Each structure stands twice: as structure tokens, then as C-alpha cells.
Structure 1
Amino acid sequence: MAMFFSTRLLFFSIIIPLLISITLYQLIDSFDPAPLPPDSLFSSPTSIPPLLNDKFLTGAEFIGVGLLNNPEDIAYHKESGLIYTGCVDGWVKRVSVHDSANDSVVEDWVNTGGRPLGIAFGIHGEVIVADADKGLLNISGDGKKTELLTDEAEGVRLKLTDAVTVADNGVLYFTDASYKYDIHQFIFDFLEGKPHGRLISFDPTTRVTRVLLRDLYFANGISISPDQTHLVFCETIKRRCSKYYISEERVEVLIQGLPGFPDNIRYDGDGHYWIALISEVTTPWKLSMKYPFLRKLISMAAKYGVELLFMKNAGVLQVDLDGNPIALYHDHPFSHITSGVKIGNHLYCGSLLHSYITRLDLLKYPAQKKL
């Protein structure tokens, strides 16, 4: 009798759900995940820095609580002392920077009517916005005029305009994270495991939009090198940042095998890049990256709003200009950190999840050598 119930329990708890999953898997065949390149599946010990602060939230301050709805990117305008950030409700907001976080004031500046992500400053005082829905925008006249610069490249519409940087000669460089999936569907780009991302330039003088690189795995953050010779851009799915040499039109890896998934990357003006990591590579992520059929099952759940790829232990990685890791600031409960900008002695972080900007005093809470 005990054997009977044991067999019956096994049948109903394991076999039937498995059969249902296999049946659904076969029925829903429009989503076809691909095997990921081998170099996206490994973690490199050389990407782990010697200095570590794994208690980020212990000393964190929160700016603009309740007034900043998912502030994804952060751009600091030194002359005015203002942070510009794009929120999920379409607002580009301005936040004043002060010694005390409590003194910061949040201002609704311009609403793009889309989803502003990357933000940079043009050479004539304009604010350049990579809007996931609208395309590449130019906001001038202190917010009085918003102009669409480009929303397609090579006849293919920008589906997820993500990050932008501006060269000293005025040329704009930006990423289209995916020409297939929009901001509301970005998880499916991750799960499909195919290269839909592009690196693109826009010349304001000639009005020409040019694709520099294609077939990128979720092209994300971008920054121009201090000597203006190359761009540094992140591919989230491959967990790497690469250099694109503008004149030579060649690519080389800056850092790969990152301990998390990179989002935005910012140069601090002092010889360092700061790479935001939205999450560590959790066990569900590791398994799904290795097995396409798991990603298909996860995509089925995602279509019903069920998130199976948990995110945790987000943070910001500081590297030098050669990609050598210096310090990592993170915390286990932290997730969805999308940008890290060093302003003075503080690290300011944007997020796709929180309703505020997180700030850490790097002098009071420094990264230290691991024991």
C-alpha cells in the first residue's frame, strides 16, 4: 500500500507537471531560444577586484524618495550642480546635488512622452536623451524644445534606444539594445539569446545615422574614452564591455566574464569607468543561459507576468582605463542597479526598480581588501 501511494505521489507531483510542460513547450513554438556563445557562459576571476564593499546598503542614503519613478540613468551637469535622470513615467527630472541628501530638490523638467533611458550633454548645452520608445532626442532651450534626431538606422526602426555618449566633435554615439523587442519586452531578448543589438552614430552636422556594429547581445551602456579614440560599450547578455576604435573600426575586449550583468558605464573624469551590474549571475540565470529549453519555459511564464529569473546582489564595479578591476560596491538585497556615477566623494546609483537615487559616501564606506 505504501508503495502504491509513493508511486501515485511521484506521478502527480512530477510526471504530470513534466508532461504538461513538454506539451506546452511543443505548442508554443514561435519563441525559439538559441544557444549562447561559449564566452558568455563563464565567469572570469580576473574580473573580481581586490577591493570590496559588500554592505552597500549599510551606509546608503536615498534621494528623492517617491519623486523619482525608476530613475534609470544618471548624468551630472557639473556647471549647474544638477543631476538629470529619466523616469518610467516619461519625465526627465533634475535633481540638485548637495552635501546633505535631505537638501536635494527634485524638479519635473521635460516629459518626452516615452521612456527616457540614457542621458548625455551636447557640445552646445543641449541634453541628448536615448528614449527607448521615441528614439534619439535633443532637448534644448532649457527644456522648451524637444527634437527627434533619429529613430531608425539602415531602414530598421530603433526598438530600444538605450544609452548615449557625445564626442568632443559633437558626434553622438548610442546603442539600440534590440531591434526586435521594445522596453516592455526586453526580458525576451535576454531569453532568446540572439544578437539584436546595434552600436550607432549620429552626426548632427550631416544628419546621417550610421550603424557601426551589429549583432550585439543586448547593447547597453556606452562611454567615450577620455582621449576620444574609442568607445566603450556593454553587452548585457555576454557580461562584457568592449572597445570600439572609431578611426580603425575595430573591436577589442575591455573586460569580460563580469560577476554580474552590466548596464550603464560612466567615465568619472579621473581615469576610471564605473560599470553598473543589475544582478549577479544567480543559479536560475546560470541554468537558463546554458539550456535554451529552460529559457523557453521561462518565457512562457514571463508572458503571464511570472518572473522566474530572480535578481540580487547588484552593484557597481570600478575599473581603470585598461579594464583592470579596482573596487566593487554591492549588497545581497540590492537589485536592478542600472547606473553608477561618481560625483565628488559620493557614488550615485540609478535603478529600474526603486523610486529614488541611492547614494554612498565612498570615504565613509570605502571598499577594502578582502580577508
Structure 2
Amino acid sequence: MLVFFSTRFLFFSIFVPFLISIVLYQLDSFDPVPFPADSLISSASSIPPLINDRFLTGAEFIGVGFLNSPEDIAYHKDSNLIYTGCVDGWVKRVSIHDSVNESVVEDWVNTGGRPLGIAFGLHGEVIVADANKGLLNISDDGKKTELLTDEAEGVGFKLTDAVVVADNGVLYFTDATYKYNIHQFIFDFLEGKPHGRLMSFDPTTRVTRVLVKDLYFANGVSLSPDQTHLVFCETIMRRCSKYYINEERVEVFIQGLPGYPDNIRYDGDGHYWIALISEVTTPWKLAMKYPFLRKLIYIAAKYGVELLFIKNAGVMQVDLNGKPIALYHDHPFSHITSGVKIGNHLYCGNLLHSYITRLDLLKYPAQKKL
């Protein structure tokens, strides 16, 4: 009787689910493809000489409970305010003080979508890359919200991601994927096909241009100090590239990053700060290498089962040539999407927590590892 029960239990607990998974696999039309060979590159030259791998030891938390997944961070120096977009649609303003306990969070404007990238226009506007809505212009101290653009070359945006404003007023921004929305972004990772675009919008002519297409989840974008080129991130490829504006050409800025890049910010002092949403875990390595595994992960994700894990996020500092300088991370740290240096502090946005994380770089510096 015990043997019969064990056999029946084994059949229903293992073999039946296995048979069901085979049927689902065969019937599902999702068709992942191999990634380019350089997506699997890991380079020792991308590891900075200075490391702080205990970020959370000295971290402070701003706006706890009042900021629902603050993804990007934009600092307005004149008002000493941080602007950040939250998952509930709010663009919020956060006052900066020496003590995090003195910071005040203000509900400013609700876009009705999912605000991600934030930048400041030339005439007091706040430009928002809203994943659901498109590129927005918020003016008159939040009283007016205008849609600037939500398509290019007849293809609508599905995940408007990051934005930066040039000195001549032109907006440069990314659409991470024109195929999947923000709730499906993991499917873009798993499919292995390039659906991302780097674009520009001229507020004078109202023309939206596609500068670079066929990008693998186009994410953060930043302007060089001399305004001659952009640096933009491709999350899946673990690389950042330069786009020369006048020459209209692309070259690699840094590749083989130790994690998956999200936003990139220039600090005004000769450095870029690249947020790494996760380290390269073993499950991710295997999934990148084998399309059939990505299809299995896709099917599981459709039914609410998460098979890929995100951990050991951080922010990496590089110089103007893409040379790594320092990395600030921590093993339980995850979903870090932006890193902005304000004074002596590093402020980090995220996709998981209800606060902004702050680290004093003088008290808790990155150091050489023995």
C-alpha cells in the first residue's frame, strides 16, 4: 500500500506537471533567439579598482513609506529638491537636508501612467519619460501637462524610459522596447530580439527622430559635458555606448559590465554614475546562453512563477572615457535603477522599496581590495 501511494504521489507531483509543461512549451508561440556573442562578454577591465561592497552598512533612507518605487532621480539645484517618479503615477518632490529625518516628500503631479526618466527643460519645465504615456512636458509649476510625443516612424512607444535635455533644448530619450509594456518587460529580456530605440525630439519643429534602432532594451541616457555625444545603456547587453550627435555614429563606451545597467547620470565633475540593477547571476548566465531555458522561464512567468533572481545591485562610477573608478554595492541590495551624486552623497532610486537610499561617500568610501 505504501509503495502504491508513493508511486501515485510521484506520478501526480512530478510526471504530470512535467507532461503539462511539455505541452505548454510546444503550444506556446513565444520564440526566443540566441543573443549576440558579445552579450556574454565578461571583462576584468570593467571591474573598478575601488570597491565598497557594504553599501547598506552606511546607508540612510529618505521618505520611507512615502515613495513607492522611486525609479529615477533628478536634482534641481536652485530649489534643492529631488524630483522622482513613482509606480503609483506620482512625480514627487523631496527636500534635501543634512539629516534625512528633515526631508519632506510632496505629491507634485500624477501623470496617470508610470513616470520613469526625469529631466529639467530650459524654461522651468520638467520633462518626464512616462513608460505608459510617452514623453511629457510638465510646466507652470505642475499645473499643465502636455504630451510631446508617443511614436516615431509610425511605431508607438511601449516603454518610454530615460530622457536628457541638451543646451539647445533638444530632448534625447529612449524607448526600451516598442513591443512590450512595462508589466511585460521581462519578456523583452527573454525573447532576445532588439526592440529598443534611441531618439530625439525637437520642441521647435516638433519632430521625433530615431537616432539608433535595434537596441537591446535601451535604458539610461546622458549627455557628455561638451554636448558632442550621448552615452546610453543597453541593459541586456551589459554595455553603454556613445552616440556622436553630429556624426551620427555609435561606438562602445564600456562593455562587459559586472551587472545590468539601468540609468546613467553625469555628475558635473568628470564622472558618470551607472546604476546596476543586479549582478550577473548564474541563472541569468544560463538563460542568456540557452534560448530554450528562456522559453521555460517565459512560460513560468506567465503563470506568476519567478525563476530569475535579482541581487547585489549597485552603482558604478566611471570617468569620461568609460574607465571604471569605483563600485558601490551590497549583496542584499537589489533593483537599484539610478545613482545621482549630490554634494558628498550618492542618492539611489529603485524599483522595489518605498524610499530613496543615500550614502555619504566621504564616510563610506570605496577602497582598494587586498
TM-score, with normalisation over the residues of structure 1? 0.96
Alpha-carbon distance, 1:13 to partner: 7.4
Matched, 1:118 2:117: yes
Aligned equivalents of 1:216, 1:137: Cα separation in 2: 23
* Cα shift at 1:24: 1.9
- Tell me the secondary structure at the aligned position of residue 365 of structure 2: coil
Report what 2:58 is aligned to. 59
Q: Supply the AA of the counterpart residue of 1:180.
A: K
Residues 1:92 and 2:91 are matched in the alignment: yes
Q: Which amino acid aligns with 2:107?
A: D
State the distance in 2 between where 1:134 and 1:326 align.
Answer: 36
User: Which amino acid in 2 is paired with 1:362?
Assistant: L
Matches within 5 A, 1:42-53: 42-53=41-52
Within 1, Cα distance between the matches of 2:75 and 2:140? Answer: 18
Q: Say which SS state the counterpart of residue 163 (structure 2) adopts.
A: strand
Task: Label 1:6 to 1:304 Cα distance change in 2 as closer, same or farther (>3 A).
Answer: closer
What's the secondary structure of 1:189's corresponding residue? helix
Instruction: State yes or no: 1:182 paired with 2:195.
Output: no
Q: Aligned equivalents of 1:8 and 1:257: distance in 2?
A: 49
The 3-state SS of whatever aligns with 1:222 is strand
- 2:230 alignment counterpart: 231
Amino acid at match of 2:39: S
Alignment of 1:222-261 (within 5 A): 222-261=221-260
CA displacement at 1:124 relative to structure 2 = 1.0
Q: Find the aligned partners of 1:20 and 1:355 in 2 and give their Cα distance.
A: 39
Report the residue type matching 1:260 in the other structure.
Answer: G
- Counterpart CA distance in 1 for 2:81 and 2:231 is 25
Structure 1 residue 15 displacement after superposition: 6.1
The letter of the residue matching 2:148 is L
CA shift, 1:267, in A, is 0.2
Counterpart for residue 24 of structure 1: 24
Amino acid at match of 2:144: K
Partner of 2:190, secondary structure, is helix
* Structure 1 letter corresponding to 2:176: A
CA displacement 1:281-339 (0-9 Å, x = unmatched): 11111111110111111011111221111000000000000000000000000100000
Dislocated runs of 4+, deviation >3 Å: 4-20
In the alignment, residue 218 of structure 2 is paired with which amino acid?
A
Q: In the aligned structure 2, how far is the partner of 1:7 from the partner of 1:282?
A: 36
Give 1:18 shift. 4.4
TM normalised by structure 2 equals 0.96
| Structure 1 equivalent of residue 344 of structure 2 | 345
Matched residue type, 1:345: N
CA distance in 2, matches of 1:157, 1:252: 27
Q: Indicate the residue corresponding to 1:80 in structure 2.
A: 79
Alignment-derived partner of residue 278 in structure 2: 279
* Residue equivalent to 1:360: 359
Distance 1:40 1:157 in 2: 27
CA–CA distance in structure 2, aligned partners of residues 182 and 16 of structure 1 = 33
- Equivalence for 1:290: 289
Distance verdict in 2 for CA 1:145–1:12, change over 3 Å: closer
- SS in structure 2 of the partner of residue 137 of structure 1: strand
Give the match's secondary structure for 1:142. Answer: helix
Q: Which amino acid aligns with 1:221?
A: G
In 2, Cα distance between equivalents of 1:34 and 1:149: 34
Residue aligning to 1:103? 102
SS in 1 for 2:141: coil
- Tell me the secondary structure at the aligned position of residue 299 of structure 1: helix
Amino acid at match of 2:25: Y
Which residue is equivalent to 2:165?
166
> Which has the higher mean CA deviation after the structures are superposed, 38-47 or 82-91?
38-47
* Segment drifting more, 14-23 vs 354-363: 14-23
**Which ranges in structure 2 are unaligned for 5 or more consecutive residues?**
none
Query: Distance between the aligned counterparts of 2:330 and 2:35, measured in 1?
Result: 28
Q: Which whole-Å CA distance do the structure 1 matches of 2:10 and 2:282 have between them?
A: 25
More deviation in 67-76 or 30-39?
Answer: 30-39
Q: CA RMSD in A?
A: 1.8
* Aligned counterparts of 1:9 and 1:46: Cα–Cα separation in 2: 52
* Paired residues for 1:257-336 under 5 Å: 257-336=256-335
Shift of 1:125: 1.3
For the residues of structure 2 that align with 1:307 and 1:124, how far apart are their CA atoms?
A: 44
Q: Aligned partners of 1:309 and 1:363: how far apart in 2?
A: 35
Kindly, what percent of the aligned residue pairs are identical?
87
Corresponding residue for 1:199? 198
For 2:73 and 2:17, the matched residues in 1 are separated by 45
What amino acid maps onto 1:103 in structure 2? Answer: E
Distance 2:9 2:304 in 1: 29
